[in-house]
Amino acid sequence: MRSHLAVFRIDNGSLETVLTTSRHIEAPNWCLDDAALIVNGAGRLYRVPLANPELQEIDTGFANRINNDHGVSPDGKSLVVSDATESGASCLYTLPVSGGAPKRVTELTPSYWHGWSPDGATLAYVGKRGTSFQVYTCPAGGGAERQLTADFDHCDGPDYTPDGRWIWFNGEKSGAVDLWRMRPDGSDLERMTSDAEVNWFPHPSPDGQCVLYLAYRRGTRGHPAMQSVELRTIPVNGGEPTTLLRLTGGQGTINVPCWAPDGRRFAFVQYED
């Protein structure tokens, strides 16, 4: 398998391949300084400088089972990772953006991070505490978690709008996987898509105008890799989706926030067998 780390410009539709590697990499984040992307691969985390693209391993201490649910804090100083080294199941840790010793945030497992509130105070994630994955939040420094959803068969990908007023996520009910949004306290739940596609991983743009997401073909179960998928946007208050790209991807393509700080570009990974 070859992984192609790429950047798409939303303003003119241009596409640039930043890095091609025979290693399996996933889930790009954009650094706040606009100088690098961060990806994961084989349990590790890597920085990819945009001026001279290469995989530079980030020191994550003992954490060597990092999955594709990681991200950068709103102030650009910290990273959050989802790692299973200590407990055997994924939980959340924070560490300096340049690398260092991870600090555990969540006690309960499994927990998979997906969003950081714009004020830096709260983490949004999914966790399985019973028979299904639901959306939770907790203080970024650690503390009691709060369950926001309850009636879905499965939830994933919670991510905040830049004004902090909404959390978007994908939720499954009766076999249909759509995008939803709710207030940070779980109220005012709204279904934002209602088509036949299987819609995952919504990421509101930094300018607050649209939401980027991944659309699988109808009938897809879960969020598998190496599928024929589309990257789409939808207006932030709902409406008809726009297809930007068709590619081979899925798991690993845009699992986590991937917009550039300027809101005109986003990063993604596509794959080649």
DSSP, residue by residue, the chain: -EEEEEEEETTT--EEEEEEESS--EEEEE-TTSSEEEEEETTEEEEEESSS---EE---TT---B-S--EE-TTSSEEEEEE-TTTSS-EEEEEETT----EE---SSSEEEEEE-TTSSEEEEEEESSSSEEEEEEETT----EE---S-SEEEEEEE-TTSS-EEEEEEETTEEEEEEE-TTS-S-EE---SSSEEEEEEE-TTSSEEEEEEEPTT--S--SSEEEEEEEEETT----EEEEEEEESTTTSSS--B-TTSSEEEEEEEE-
Judge whether residue 1 has pLDDT over 90. no
Q: What is the CATH number of the domain that holds 197?
A: 2.120.10.30
Boundaries of domain holding 80: 2-272
Report yes or no on whether pTM surpasses 0.75: yes
What is the pLDDT averaged over residues 135-163?
Answer: 98
Write the pLDDT tens digit of every residue in 220-265: 999 999 999 999 999 999 999 999 999 999 999 999 999 999 999 9
What average pLDDT does the chain have?
97
Total domain count, the chain: 1
What is the pLDDT averaged over residues 263-268?
Answer: 98
* pLDDT tier at 83, thresholds 50, 70, 90: very high
Give me the pLDDT at residue 41, please: 98
Judge whether residue 177 has pLDDT over 90. yes
What is the pLDDT averaged over residues 52-58?
Answer: 98
Give me the pLDDT at residue 144, please: 97
Give me the pLDDT at residue 273, please: 85
Give me the pLDDT at residue 202, please: 98
Give me the pLDDT at residue 209, please: 96
Give me the pLDDT at residue 37, please: 98
What is the pLDDT averaged over residues 209-216?
Answer: 98
